[in-house]
Amino acid sequence: MEVAQGNFLPARFSPRCEREMTPNVYKERVRKAFEYADAEATGSLTKRQYKIAMTAVFGHCPEKVEIKHAFESTDRVSYEEFEHWVSTKHFTDDAHVNPEILFTLLDKDYKGYLVVDDFFSASTLVGLKISPSIWETVFKELDRHKKGYIDFVDFSRVLATVYKITAR
């Protein structure tokens, strides 16, 4: 199976065009993640496969509590159940921005991490006129481990810091 470099989904599942995360695109991403994790095409996922599929959708592995809750009365989850759990996680009613949703919206080509171009593309899409050089500077500050990318853990840390500063 050919895998796109730095990607957890096979290359055939990775759209290369810049698209907004509309409900249809989101549903497509959920379906592709499910199909990828359900390699034997059984129509349902084990706990391990569920973790893989959720990672493909949100860019990080779900927490143990979430997995336990999803599998409390079964050993496999159907597509419909998986879609329910994804939508539950996607549409939470937080007073703050959900980091998983924001990360997913920025990671348009489903790499599982963000690069400086993701931020520049997002700002252009919403009409912010921020030059690439400014994004380079900001990104260097955010990429504290100098990896050249920001994973979900680093992204969440940055958001938590921003929330603390703005809450004062």
Question: Can you give the pLDDT at residue 71?
Answer: 93
Domains plus CATH for the chain?
11-94 (1.10.238.10), 99-167 (1.10.238.10)
The mean per-residue pLDDT over the stretch 98-110 comes to: 81
Closest CA relative to residue 52, chosen from 39, 43, 42: 39
As a whole-number percent, the residues of the chain with pLDDT over 70 amount to 76
Side chain identity, residue 113: Y
* CA 50/CA 61 separation, integer angstroms: 9
pLDDT band at 166 (very low <50, low <70, confident <90, very high): low
Question: Can you give the pLDDT at residue 105?
Answer: 82
- The tokens of 91 are what? 């549409």
pLDDT over 80 (residue 135): yes
pLDDT over 50 (residue 55): yes
